[in-house]
Amino acid sequence: MSIPNPGRIEPVLWDDWHPVAELAALRHGRRLDTGLLGRPLTVTLRADGAIDACSGPHALPHLDTRYGFVWACLGAPVRDIVKFAAADEPDRIPVTGGSMAVAASGLRAVENFLDLGHLGYVHQGYLGEEPHTDIKPYTVGPREGGGIRATGCRVYQPRPSPADTSGYEVDYIYEVHRPYIVVLYKANPVDRTRMDLIALLLQPVSEESCVAHSFMSYPPHDVNEKSVRGFQQLIFGQDRPILENQLPKRLPLDAKAEISVRADSSSAHYRRWLSQLGVRFGAIPQAPA
C-alpha cells in the first residue's frame, strides 16, 4: 500500500527511495517532523528500536535504513535504495556528515555539487584558490546503470581533506545515481590507488526546499570521524547561502539557461538527463520547441 499521490508527482520520484532522517539525530531526539515531495512527514524511533513514519493519517509501509540514514518511499518501490559499491569494501570507515535544511530545490544542490568552477571561489583555501581557477577539459557521459558520470576532472586544492593540509592536483570522478543523489570519488591523500567517497543525498521537502544529508566512506588512514564531519559541514555551510540566493529556486532544465562555460558541462548533461526522465518536481521544465 502506498500514500495517495494527489499532486501527481512523477513516478520516477514518487516510487523511489529518499533519505528522510539521520539515524544518529533520530536516536538523540526520537522524533523528527520533516517533509518529502510536498507531503508532511513524521519519523519516530520507538523504544524497541523500530522506526515508524507517517504522512498525515497515512503510515508509510516502505521504510529502511542504509548508510546511517532512514530512507522512505511514498509510493510503490520499483528498485532498491541506491548502493555505492566502494562503501561496501570491508575495511572502509563510514561517516555521516549530518543534515542541513536548504531553502532551494534539491536539484539546485546537486548541480552545485557538480560545479567544478565554484571551488576556487566559494571554498577558497580549502577546495581551491586563486590563481588555480582554470578548469581543464573533462569527459561527461552516461553512467552504467543510469545517470551521468564525469571523469578526468582535476582540480588544484590547498586543503583537499581533513587528513591532508598540503596542496596538490586532485583527481575527481562524479556520478549522479538518481535525480537527487550525487557522489564524488576523490583521490585519497594517503593511498593514491584508492578514492574517498563523498555522497550528497538530497531529500526533496518541497519544490523550493530540501534537506542535504551527506555520507562519506574512507579507506582506513587515520580517519577522525569528528573532524571529517566538521569539515563536511564547513564546506556545505559555505555552499548554503549561495544556493539560497539563486533565483529561481527551482532548477531550469533548459540546457542553455545559466550555463555558458566549459566547467558547466556536467550541469548541461544533468539537466538534459532530468528532462529525459520527465522530472518536474523542483524543476522548471524546458519549454516545448
Is the pLDDT score of 33 beyond 80? yes
Highest mean pLDDT among 69-73, 109-113, 223-227 belongs to 69-73
Is the pLDDT score of 122 beyond 60? no
Q: What is the pLDDT of residue 288?
A: 67
62 and 149 housed in the same domain: no
Where in 38-77 does DSSP place strands (E)?
39-45, 51-55, 58-59, 62-66, 69-73
66 and 91 housed in the same domain: no
Is the pLDDT score of 233 beyond 60? yes
All three cell numbers of 78? 520499483
Q: What is the pLDDT of residue 131?
A: 47
Q: What is the pLDDT of residue 153?
A: 81
The domain boundary, picked from 73, 99, 126, lies at 73
236 and 269 housed in the same domain: yes
By C-alpha distance, which of 137, 124, 84, 132 is closest to 266?
A: 137
**Average pLDDT taken over every residue of the chain:** 86
CB burial readout 96-118, b (16+ within 10 A) else e: bbbbbebebbbbbbbbbbbbbbb
Is the pLDDT score of 69 beyond 60? yes
For cell 590563481, the residue is: 131
pLDDT in tens, 194-225: 889 999 999 999 999 999 999 999 888 767 77
Report yes or no: 207 and 282 within 8 Å, Cβ to Cβ. Answer: yes
61 and 180 housed in the same domain: no
DSSP secondary-structure letter at 75? S
Which runs of consecutive H residues, i.e. helices, occur in 159-255?
225-244
62 and 101 housed in the same domain: no
Taking the CA atoms of residue 243, residue 249, residue 253 and residue 257 in that order, the dihedral angle to the nearest 10 degrees is -70
115 and 17 housed in the same domain: no
Task: List the domain range (segments joined by +) for residue 65.
Answer: 11-73
Tell whether 259 is covered by a domain: yes
94 and 44 housed in the same domain: no
Mean pLDDT of 45-63: 93
pLDDT in tens, 152-187: 888 776 665 555 666 667 888 999 999 999 999 988
Tell whether 6 is covered by a domain: no
56 and 103 housed in the same domain: no
CA–CA gap between residue 179 and residue 174 (Å, rounded): 14
CA–CA gap between residue 69 and residue 286 (Å, rounded): 33
Whole-model pTM? 0.90
46 and 108 housed in the same domain: no
What CATH number does the domain containing 267 carry? Answer: 3.90.380.10
Compute CA 248 distance to the chain's CA centroid, rounded to the nearest angstrom. Answer: 20
Query: What band does 120 get if pLDDT is binned at 50, 70 and 90?
Result: very low
Is the pLDDT score of 130 beyond 60? no
Strands 69-73 and 93-102: unpaired
Tell whether 93 is covered by a domain: yes
Euclidean distance between the first and the last CA atom of the chain, given in angstroms as a whole number: 39
Tell whether 178 is covered by a domain: yes
All three cell numbers of 230? 566538521
Mean pLDDT of 34-58: 95
